[in-house]
């Protein structure tokens, strides 16, 4: 049986993943309001992915006989100073999610909860990808600078993202 401490941490992570989904949906809306549908599509898909991460933990909690306790999801930011700042916030946010996942792994290891440690390894690997993608997008936006043609090209690139 998974300890109450680990269950509490997993419930907190469900909330964090759902907040991530909400945040990325807000970012999608921001880009939609600037007629950058490619950026918006990328963030919508990112929102869907974060929701699925939350549900993966939700399902795991039921599999281990735990109790899912949902809590309030805070409203995300809705406006940014620049397109670059959206991607910088994304990168920072993904680093925070990585820390949260790693903290739960540490807790599960301390609690000798091998099943949860094993389950969370997928998230550990996923966060490597999430952080790398976020940083790549920041670097691309920095390269573009004030170039409208660069923005157009990145909008097309990000708009070509498909679900996996």
Domains in the chain: boundaries: 4-159
Query: What pLDDT score was predicted for residue 17?
Result: 98
Query: What pLDDT score was predicted for residue 164?
Result: 66
Give the CA count within 13 Å in the CB-facing half-sphere of 131.
14
Q: Which two tokens stand for residue 111?
A: 């609690």
Task: State the pLDDT confidence band at 163, using cuts at 50, 70 and 90.
Answer: confident
Q: Does domain 4-159 have CATH number 1.20.1260.10?
A: yes
Whether the predicted pLDDT of 41 surpasses 80: yes
């Amino acid at each position: 049986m998974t300890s109450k401490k680990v269950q509490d941490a997993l419930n907190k992570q469900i909330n964090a993943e759902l907040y991530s989904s909400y945040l990325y949906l807000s970012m999608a809306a921001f880009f939609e309001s600037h007629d950058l549908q490619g950026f918006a599509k990328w963030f919508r898909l990112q929102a869907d992915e974060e929701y699925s991460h939350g549900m993966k933990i939700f399902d795991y909690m039921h599999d281990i006989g735990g109790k899912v306790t949902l809590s309030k999801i805070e409203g995300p930011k809705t406006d940014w100073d620049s397109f670059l700042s959206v991607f910088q916030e994304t990168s920072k946010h993904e680093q925070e999610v990585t820390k949260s996942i790693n903290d739960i792994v540490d807790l599960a290891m301390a609690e000798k909860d091998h099943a949860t440690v094993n389950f969370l390894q997928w998230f550990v690997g996923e966060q490597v990808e999430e952080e790398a993608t976020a940083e790549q997008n920041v670097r691309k936006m920095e390269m573009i600078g004030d170039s409208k043609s660069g923005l157009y090209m990145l909008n097309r690139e990000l708009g070509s993202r498909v679900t996996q």
